[in-house]
Amino acid sequence: MARTEGDSWDLASSVGATATMVAAGRAVASRDPRGLIDDPFAAPLVRAVGIEFFTKVVDGEFDMADLDPSNGASMQARIDEMALRTRFFDDYFLDSTRGGVRQVVILASGLDSRAYRLPWPDGTVVYEVDQPAVIEFKTSTLAAIGAEPTAERRTVAVDLREDWPAALRAAGFDSEAPTAWCAEGLLIYLPPEAQDLLFDNVTALSASGSTVATEYVPGIRQFDPEKARAATAQMREHGLDLDMPSLIYHGERNHVMEYLTSLGWQVTGTSRAELFAQHDVPMVDRDNDPLGEIVYVSATYQKR
């Protein structure tokens, strides 16, 4: 079903199910002996959501390579990229806090477990912003297995289409303190104007010394829905009813890095190839990826 204004979802449907898919990728990557990431909470969260396909994946009952045995290397590459994407944002947060930032905001936090698993410095406050049902689900699921945050975790139960800056301030956010912002895996699910508004709000709330990390996906402008459906056809044959093309807002939009620069951020981009090379992970041909190249973006801010 195509996205509509004011649409809603849970973690087993629509855009919410993509958060479960990403968590399943983190769970599989956490079993990799190379130790690129360690997310012990990904698998329990995926099981609690209850999508059979992803539960079988995290429990090792279903090998992603089984989707296309002739293309097992490509499937492994997707898991590798999920590990490296996670590692990029993990390192970003750790670098920001080593630089003295003690206020963190994770936008559309979904099943992100960083508030529970990263070694945050004393005094760090982590704000998680997402829809009320998503926040409640993750909080109660992790509490049930005895997980405790490693920082002061403050939840902001609000849809990003609403006045989330006001909700963030009401939760105690201090716009005079430097902040480490994260918008991971979010932008392609926003209309172009909402993407701009997101960064406008982030900038307005940022003190000097703040940082932000996100991704830039150039291919979203020339996104081919049929190519994307072909890439996920076998997953549908295995019972996963997730039509990615209908969830994404594709077409023309502002260049993420250029837009942030125009707002006063000093921006650095790391390509997929550079990210793989940094961690000595072989990268296979990804010409069949419907989203094309991905650039991992980090930036710092000095108020004008």
Q: Where in the chain is the domain with CATH 3.40.50.150?
A: 78-301
> Above 90 in pLDDT, residue 119?
yes
The CATH homologous superfamily to which domain 78-301 belongs is Vaccinia Virus protein VP39 (3.40.50.150)
Q: Which residues contact 90 (CB under 8 A, 6 or more apart)?
A: 37, 114, 118
Give the per-residue pLDDT at 14. Answer: 76
pLDDT tens-digit readout, 155-204: 999 999 999 999 999 999 999 999 999 999 999 999 999 999 999 999 99
Where do the H-state alpha helices sit in 118-271?
Answer: 132-144, 164-170, 192-204, 225-231, 233-237, 244-247, 256-262
Average pLDDT of the chain? 88
> Above 50 in pLDDT, residue 207?
yes
Evaluate whether 103 touches 174 at the Cβ level (below 8 Å).
yes
CA distance 271 to 280: 14
Give the per-residue pLDDT at 12. Answer: 77
> Above 70 in pLDDT, residue 272?
yes
Pairing of strands 152-157, 125-130: parallel
Give the per-residue pLDDT at 130. Answer: 96
239 or 201, which is more confident:
201
Q: Which residues contact 56 (CB under 8 A, 6 or more apart)?
A: 62
Confirm whether pTM is higher than 0.85: yes
**Average pLDDT, integer, range 70-89:** 80
Give the per-residue pLDDT at 248. Answer: 83
pLDDT tens-digit readout, 7-21: 666 787 777 888 998
**Average pLDDT, integer, range 211-220:** 90
Q: How confident is the model at residue 69 (pLDDT cuts 50, 70, 90)?
A: very low
Give the per-residue pLDDT at 70. Answer: 47
Give the per-residue pLDDT at 227. Answer: 64
